[in-house]
Amino acid sequence: MLRDCPDRLEADLRRVYPGVRLDDLWTGAERPRAIANMTAHLPRGSAVWEYYGGQRAITAETESLWLVEHATIAVASAKPDRVKPRPYPLGVREQERQQQYTTSQADAWRRKQQARLDAASADG
């Protein structure tokens, strides 16, 4: 977490544990194990968990509302077995990876199209 999203970690530590700063780790005011424990027990829906995605990226309240929504739709549906619950959200990290992949694919396609145009104009 410290490597992936230090800004989010610092914000969460300040929000959840007032008086604790990530800088305390470097100055020796807090032990690394204490910071690690605080980090591991950040509440659901915190910025760090939003970065990683999954079940901890949303609060328990949000998940409860999703379950109520799913049950309501399933009860009203003619085929309740086909009603699927909402998937947990992707994390920011995964969204960035998908964006990079899509961008690289688009760049490759553009290069290929440009090469075809260059070859066609050289022939013509």
pLDDT one-digit tens code per residue, 79-122: 988 999 999 999 988 999 999 999 999 999 999 999 999 998 88
Q: What is the pTM of this model?
A: 0.72
Number of domains observed in the structure of the chain? 2
Residue-wise pLDDT tens digits, 22-80: 888 889 898 999 999 999 999 999 999 999 999 999 999 999 999 999 999 999 999 98
**Domain-embedded: residue 1:** no
Are residues 27 and 58 located together in one domain of the fold? yes
User: Shortest CA distance to 70 belongs to which of 54, 50, 52, 88?
Assistant: 88
Instruction: Looking at the structure, tell me whether residues 23 and 74 fall in a common domain.
Output: yes
Shared-domain flag, residues 13 and 74? yes
Q: Predicted confidence band at 123 (pLDDT cuts at 50, 70, 90)? A: confident
Is residue 52 located within the same domain as residue 77?
Answer: yes
pLDDT at 9 over 80: yes
Of 35, 28, 24, 26, nearest to 1 (Cα)? Answer: 35
Torsion sign over Cα 1, 55, 15, 8: positive
70 shares its domain with 114: no
Question: Under a CB-based contact definition with an 8 Å cutoff, are residues 30 and 37 in contact?
Answer: no
- Any domain includes 88: yes
Q: pLDDT-derived band of residue 124, with 50, 70 and 90 as boundaries?
A: low
SS (H, E, C) 6-22: HHHHHHHHHHHCCCCCC
HEC string for the chain = CCCCCHHHHHHHHHHHCCCCCCHHHHHCCCCHHHHHHHHHCCCCCCHHHHHHECHHHCCHHHHHHHHHHHHHHHHHCCCHHHCCCCCCCECHHHHHHHHHHHHHHHHHHHHHHHHHHHHHHHHC
In terms of domains, do 69 and 118 share one?
Answer: no
Range of the domain at 88: 6-93
Domain co-membership, 32 together with 88: yes
